[in-house]
Amino acid sequence: MLGFNGEDFIPFLVFSIPIIAIVGGITAGIVKTLGRQRLIELAQQERITAIQRGIDPSKLPPMPSLGLDEDDLIGMSGPERDRRRAQGLLIGGIIVTAASVGMIVFFSLITTEQHNVWAVGLIPGAVGVALLLCAWIVQPKGMMPPGSGPGARVG
């Protein structure tokens, strides 16, 4: 009779997490794109119906765009766009660095025959540090940190 061995399950678990994350990310992108496409179709139908009823097309609201989220940054000023980009890199860097520290701790606590398994966490750790460095480089110089400056609450 075959018995369940926990050590045989760990490699499966380690490789299934990134696969699930990739498939989930692709699925979320497809759902988002389909949702935006449906929004465009509904707006076009509404526009056609309004024109058929004799409403002036110039008085209708503008059509929503199918553009990417980066298009939202186009209308922003340079420093604001750079601040938003730096904030995104900072958040990504903190998350990836924390995940790598978690991996290092997890793999160092597992008792295995291989003693340097914890080193696997160094790869995402380097990526996280690189993202934090990029956030520092991209951040507009001379910018006040959030919550400081005129009108900031004290205490």
Tens-place pLDDT, residues 63-77: 776 555 554 555 666
Cβ-based neighbours of 105, under 8 Å, separated by 6 or more: 118
Question: pLDDT tens, 27-53?
Answer: 999 998 899 889 889 988 988 998 899
pLDDT for the residue numbered 27: 92
Q: How many beta carbons lie within 10 A of that of residue 49, not counting itself? A: 10
State how far the Cα of 30 lies from the Cα of 62, in Å rounded to an integer. 25
Q: Where are the domains of the chain?
A: 9-67, 69-142
The mean pLDDT of 54-62, rounded to a whole number, is 83
Sign, CA torsion 81/88/86/144? positive
* The overall pTM is greater than 0.85: no
Instruction: With a cut of 50, say whether residue 11 has pLDDT above it.
Output: yes
